[in-house]
Structure 1
Amino acid sequence: MASKNQQKDTKEQSVSPSLPDGVKNYLIDIDGTITDDVPNEEPERMATCEPFPDALETVNKWYKDGHQICFFTSRVEEHRKVTEDWLNKHGFKYHSLLMGKPRGGNYHWIDNHIVKATRYKGQFTDLVNKKETIQVFKD
């Protein structure tokens, strides 16, 4: 009979495939992260906003380096075309676009995979390692 840990490992492995070593899945917000914060209630602004400095270069570098790029936005499905047009107009390389992210800013993501989060604070650059205190489930 398999141990509890072996059963857990087998179950986790069958949930979804892992990426090759060194490849990251980037889920990147659009509004307020790579461009102006355009609320769903003002979709006309989507056509005129510009990417933030270094956002295009950094995202496309990650794409070129083989990482997975997924834009994850609170924009609603009816804004998919204008969003895709905006991304393409400005030359963003990406693999997927998820619409309808919950609105608001205090997320607590719970997942069966390791999730790393980086808050955008006005500068879009390569990521660096930094030690921080995080919340985890009690053992």
Structure 2
Amino acid sequence: MKLEEKVENGVHVSPVLPESVKNYLIDIDGTICDDIPNEEPERMATANVYPDALQTLNKWFAEGHYITFFTSRTEEHREVTEEWLKRHGFKYHGLLMGKPRGGNYHWVDNHIVRATRFEGKFTDLVEKKVTIQVFENE
């Protein structure tokens, strides 16, 4: 996958993926498997995988999309997490540990950010019109 160099008004800006490639950040607990809190790490190795998540994410990977797991699990849980992902056959590009806990996220970035709340089943994404909060431009 090649990042496209982008220049705006003669200034180089952060590289972006080709328009056809999505950069997915996927939570683990409660999204692709049983919801295991960090306080119960002994359960992480035996968490039940959500089959629709495995099929959908591996399909997106095969289509050339970038898959990164972004989890609230800490670095001390990295080994058990990588082993679990491998054992269940998840294909991915990266694993980021230490996502802030507590939900109600509001992500501010200089790139387009799209968010989808997981509500029990992985499927292909569909487009819907929604209201969002943006910075006011003067």
Give SS of 2:57's match.
helix
Q: Which has the higher strand share?
A: 2
Alignment equivalent of 1:91, drawn from 89, 92, 96:
89
Counting aligned pairs with the same residue, the percent is: 72
Unmatched 5+ residue regions in structure 1?
Answer: 1-6
> How far did 1:10 drift?
4.2
Greater helix share, structure number: 1
CA deviations over 1:31-86 (Å, ceiling 9, x no partner): 11101111111001111111113000000000000000000000000100000001
The residue type equivalent to 2:54 in the other structure is: L
Alignment RMSD: 1.3
Deviation at 1:9, TM superposition (A): 4.5
Q: How does 1:27-106 map to 2 (within 5 A)?
A: 27-106=25-104
Verify: 1:131 aligned to 2:129, yes or no.
yes
Is the deviation greater in 18-27 or in 55-64? 18-27
How many residues were matched structurally?
131
Q: Give, as a single letter, the amino acid of the residue that structure 2 aligns with 1:47.
A: A
- Of the candidates 87, 94, 107, which is equivalent to residue 109 of structure 1? 107
Separation (CA, whole Å) in 2 of partners of 1:10 and 1:32: 44
Structure 2: give runs of 5+ residues left out of the alignment.
1-6
Structure 1 runs of 4+ aligned residues shifted over 6 Å read: none
Partner Cα separation in structure 1 for residue 117 and residue 67 of structure 2: 17
